[in-house]
Amino acid sequence: MHLKLSPEDAAFREELRTYFTTEIPQEIRDAVAQRRELTKEQIVTAHKILNKGGYAVPHWPTEWGGRGWTDLQRHIWHEELQRANVPLPLVFNSSMVGPVIAAFGSQEQKEKFLPATANLDIWWSQGFSEPDAGSDLASLRTTAEYVEDESGARFVVNGQKTWTTLGQYGDWIFCLVRTDPDVKKQAGISFLLIDMTTPGVTVRPIELIDGGHEVNEVWFEDVQVPAENLVGELNRGWDYAKFLLGNERVGVAPVGATKRVLASAKEWAGDLVAEDPFLAARFVELENELLALELTALRVSANSADGKPHPASSVLKLKGTELQQAVSELVVDIAGPGAIASGAGEGSDLEHWQARSTPAYLNLRKASIYGGSNEVQRQIIARTILGL
């Protein structure tokens, strides 16, 4: 097994480093490094610059902006984005709905949506999760009734979605909806694209335990959706959702970002590392586990040949989120009493990282739930890797 980059891949990595550190505004990269909440404008600005350079959707088909990179190159790209403190391309656009439309959408949908999605001219939201559904996504209850009359063919959507991340910025939302209640639940679901300015769509904020507004409820009351906004075939939405979730899981182990925070934590700890052998041991253990995960991610990427999510991506998701949470807990411990002041503003005497330590810790509790909970990942690992 050879894990050393070839000269070509090493040159590719340098090309990325140069672009990311010279083209993305320093204030945006500083905000990421300081774990500040990014504004919509900062996210859009960074995404558009990446797209201008061909770095927003490199995994898409080449006719729609893809670069035809190898899986290893895609891995290097993902790691270098994090290493340079560059906001990742908006996942709802780049890794979720874009690939689904490219693979299963009509030609009209591709031409209408893909260029605007790649450039973040359209901000997409995800409409999958529903109240009372938990991890059983197929039990969703939002309905879409097909109607055809003198006003044309359309779906009438009623129901509620929840935990819609950054839905307050959304222009469009891609939704799983129930279009046939009389069959096996997975067989009666369709994939709809809905303009969020359509009458009957309401977005309501959910305040999180860290005090932030990151997620929302989205309500649909007799929302009229043109029939041409159906992606693929009627009642095949479950297949498209599995395709989408597989893509989401590939990049969900943020090794580069976690390494960056751990390195910052060592600076924040200062002399404490030398004075406290138990603290030093925690750093060493986390650094070793991150190195092992990084090598595993590199090995998975280097040995993936068909472009499909490798079963081992579940290992990356599981371990990656565990380490992400462990590092956030370490930062809280280093912050000491300052970690209590999670509401401290800019005028506080506390360092910003101290005031952010507890909100970041609380926010990352979700990491082991989204993208398929870690319990689900353990089931996948047991079934597809261990053969249990």
Does residue 24 sit in the same domain as residue 56? Answer: yes
DSSP run (H or E) holding 324: helix 313-335
pLDDT at 305 exceeding the cut of 70: no
Of all helices (H) and strands (E), which one includes residue 83?
helix 71-83
- Give the CA distances from residue 222 to residues 101, 202, 217, 226, in Å, rounded to whole numbers and listed in that order: 25, 11, 16, 13
- Report the pLDDT averaged over residues 118-135: 91
Residue 67 lies in a domain: yes
pLDDT confidence band for 2 (50 / 70 / 90): low
Q: Which residues are catalytic?
A: 248
At 69-113, the pLDDT tens digits run 988 888 889 889 999 999 999 999 999 999 999 999 999 999 999
Mean pLDDT of 239-258: 77
Give the Cα separation of 75 and 256 in Å (integer): 10
Domain that holds residue 15: 7-89
- Burial class from Cβ neighbours inside 10 Å (0-12, 13-18, 19+) for residue 182 reads exposed
* Residues 231, 319 within the same domain: no
Q: Which of the two residues, 72 and 304, has the higher pLDDT score?
A: 72
Report which DSSP code applies to 333: H
Domain-ending residue, one of 65, 89, 113: 89
pLDDT tens per residue across span 186-233: 999 999 999 999 999 999 999 887 777 889 999 999 999 999 999 999
The number of domains in the chain is 3
What is the model's pLDDT at position 338? 85
Do 137 and 57 share a structural domain? Answer: no
Among candidate residues 90, 67, 57, the one with its CA nearest the CA of residue 12: 67
Mean pLDDT on 170-185? 96
Is 243 within the bounds of a domain?
no
CA distance 357 to 318: 22
pLDDT over 80 at 371, yes or no? no
How far apart, in whole angstroms, are the C-alpha atoms of residue 178 and residue 158? 10
Smallest CA-to-CA distance from 156 within 227, 237, 233 is with 227
Compute φ and ψ for 192, nearest 5 degrees.
-115, 145
CATH number at residue 201: 2.40.110.10
97 inside domain: no
